[in-house]
Structure 1
Amino acid sequence: MSVPHLTLARGDITKQSADAIVNAANSSLLGGGGVDGAIHRAGGPEILEACRALRASHYGRGLATGQAVATTAGRLPARWVIHTIGPVYSSTEDRSELLTACHTNSLAIADSLGAKTVAFPAISTGIFGWPLDNAARIAVAALRAATTDVEEVRFVLFNEAAYQAFEDAAQQ
């Protein structure tokens, strides 16, 4: 186990060829907006079926914030989707440990699957309102502190502002 190689890409995470793609999901695991909706749409009904099965068995109340679970990737160019529930940003409560847990728990799931390449979005920076620069610092620090068999972690950033925030964090 070692620290994974970190790379950055600008683009659409649903088009990334990787062993696993991380989904910034909502707790229901049944799809939603943003990255979650895009992954469900591009991956097809197989992902939703797998998520419904998880809800029917182990996660009747949904997945807790910071936790992660894997399903098939359906039609995506990956083997698995790792769903993680990011925290909603709060200016009055420090929830950075939960955001860190999204990354470390996703890597633990990737390890259990034998994944060597994992693509992450900018978790919690969309509708959950986490400031990009802070989320990028937390995500990069979490991955640099991780020991894993994953060889490459690729942050796939949808726009230039996100890419720049992660590039700045990676250079620190």
Structure 2
Amino acid sequence: MSARLECQQGDIANQPDIDVVVNAANAQLRTGGGVAGALHRAAGPELERACRPLAPIAPGQAVITEAFGLPNRHVIHCLGPVYGHDRPEAELLADCYRNALELAERHGLASIAFPALSAGAFGYPLAEAARVALTTVQETLPRCPGIERVRFVLFDAGSATLFQDTLESLDQTL
């Protein structure tokens, strides 16, 4: 795998060196709380207007729009599974990451930033979410040769450390 994987604390809505950011979307692709709220506020009302004809989406699905007021070229919107409700959770969560990477590849985007999909309001345990996310990205990248950088942007230092530790433990098992 030639792409660089990064895990850092930060604001997903402020990643100016990244081509596409991933939104932890709701099914209707509307402004919400957490990541969706931050991205929609930063992008401006044009983002919600661009999303309307693409909604609703199902768990695991990914769609792409322009980024409008964000410092990126595009936003990929993924609906992660609600833990304990949408099944099979791990498969649906993996589909989010796989579908987002494949969509970025098809659009010629070389760098992508992900939040911890489903790990906020959707209740996915963070350690398990990190393992599914990082494993899926590592397995998918060989089929996406145009992607040079994948960044996981986590809201707090503890989450960023957990993702980094998970990445290092997965790298040791390869």
Question: Fold match, TM over 0.5?
Answer: yes
Gaps of 5+ in 1: 56-61
Deviation larger for 132-141 or 82-91 = 82-91
Matched with 1:43 is: 43
Q: What is the RMSD of the two structures over their aligned residues, measured on CA atoms?
A: 1.5
TM alignment of 1:5-154, pairs within 5 A: 5-17=4-16, 18-55=18-55, 62-90=56-84, 94-146=88-140, 147=142, 148=144, 149-154=146-151
Q: Structure 1 3/97 Cα, relative in aligned 2: closer, same or farther at 3 Å? A: farther
Q: What stretches of structure 1 move > 3 A for 4+ residues in a row?
A: 91-94
- Alignment check: 8 A CA contact 2:10 2:154 kept: yes
Matches of 1:151 and 1:24, distance apart in 2: 22
Q: Deviation per CA, 1:31-68, whole angstroms, max 9, x where unpaired?
A: 2111001100111011111001324xxxxxx0010010
Letter in 2 for 1:161: G
Matches of 2:81 and 2:87, distance apart in 1: 11
Q: Does 1:168 align with 2:165?
A: yes
Identity %: 46
Give the CA deviation at 1:94: 4.2
Residue correspondences, number: 165
Gaps of 5+ in 2: 170-174
Matches of 2:150 and 2:29, distance apart in 1: 23
- Alignment check: 8 A CA contact 2:112 2:151 kept: yes
Matches of 1:98 and 1:50, distance apart in 2: 24
- Alignment check: 8 A CA contact 1:46 1:72 kept: no
Give the CA deviation at 1:93: 5.4
- Alignment check: 8 A CA contact 2:47 2:68 kept: yes
Give the CA deviation at 1:139: 0.4
Q: Structure 1 92/170 Cα, relative in aligned 2: closer, same or farther at 3 Å? A: same
Q: Give the TM-score of the pair, scaled to structure 1.
A: 0.91
Give the secondary structure class of the aligned counterpart of 1:14.
Answer: coil
Matches of 1:134 and 1:7, distance apart in 2: 18
Q: Does 1:4 align with 2:16?
A: no
- Alignment check: 8 A CA contact 1:3 1:143 kept: no
Q: Give the TM-score of the pair, scaled to structure 2.
A: 0.90
Matched with 1:157 is: 154
Give the CA deviation at 1:123: 0.4
